Amino acid sequence: MKRACGFVIFRRFKGSIEYLLMQTSYGEHHWTPPKGHVDKGESDMTTAIRETEEESGLLKNDLNIFEDVKKELKYNVKGRPKIVIYWLAELINPNKDARLSDEHQAFLWLPLEEACKKSGYQDLQDTLRYFDKYISDKLLK
């Protein structure tokens, strides 16, 4: 099965929580958090870190990774099943911005409702809402 891993990255910015979404420069120009295919012999977490660095310029040291908070999405791409694993991560310095690679044409930091609208896919919206609840229940109290 095709497998991809990445991070739902949030930052605490001017009193609100914002999520990083990136828009592909190919295909349908859809928006997702940074993620990508697991290479042969690579662990899921290594993939998530590598793809995030390649796609957004944000390094492992820029992030506080919540290894125990993850979500798996399963959907079909061209008729073949794909699994995508996202962990939650916080951008430690909220003023450090992302940068683009050739794979994306735009990125945005968006509050929950706008991020859900932009992402479109129901399972990604559910994932964002699940992580948002974790943030409010566990990190903001």
Ligand X SMILES: Nc1ncnc2c1ncn2[C@@H]1O[C@H](COP(=O)(O)OP(=O)(O)OP(=O)(O)OP(=O)(O)OC[C@H]2O[C@@H](n3cnc4c(N)ncnc43)[C@H](O)[C@@H]2O)[C@@H](O)[C@H]1O
Residue of 46, 103, 130, 139 that binds ligand X (CB under 6 A): 103
Q: Between β-strands 31-32 and 16-24, what pairing exists: parallel, antiparallel or unpaired?
A: antiparallel
Query: What would the x/- binding string for ligand X be over residues 58 to 97, using CB under 6 A?
Result: ---------------x-x-x----x---------------
CB of 121 to ligand X, least distance (A): 3
Query: What would the x/- binding string for ligand X be over residues 6 to 45, using CB under 6 A?
Result: ------------------x-xxx-x-x--xxx--------
Q: Assess 99 for contact with ligand X (CB under 6 A).
A: no
Task: List, in sequence order, every beta strand (DSSP E) within 1-141.
Answer: 2-13, 16-24, 31-32, 35-37, 63-77, 80-91, 104-110
40 versus 141: smaller Cβ distance to ligand X: 40
Q: Measuring CA to CA, how many Å separate 37 from each of 14, 51, 134?
A: 33, 8, 26
CB of 51 to ligand X, least distance (A): 6
Helix (H, G, I), strand (E, B) or coil at 82: strand
Q: In degrees rounded to 5, what are phi and psi of residue 40?
A: -55, 130
Does the CA dihedral 50-8-114-136 come out positive or negative? negative
Chain residues 119-138 in contact with ligand X, contact rule CB under 6 A = 121, 123-124
Q: Answer yes or no: are the C-beta atoms of 91 and 8 closer than 8 Å.
A: no
Report the interface residues with ligand X, using CB under 6 A: 4, 24, 26-28, 30, 32, 35-37, 73, 75, 77, 82, 103, 121, 123-124
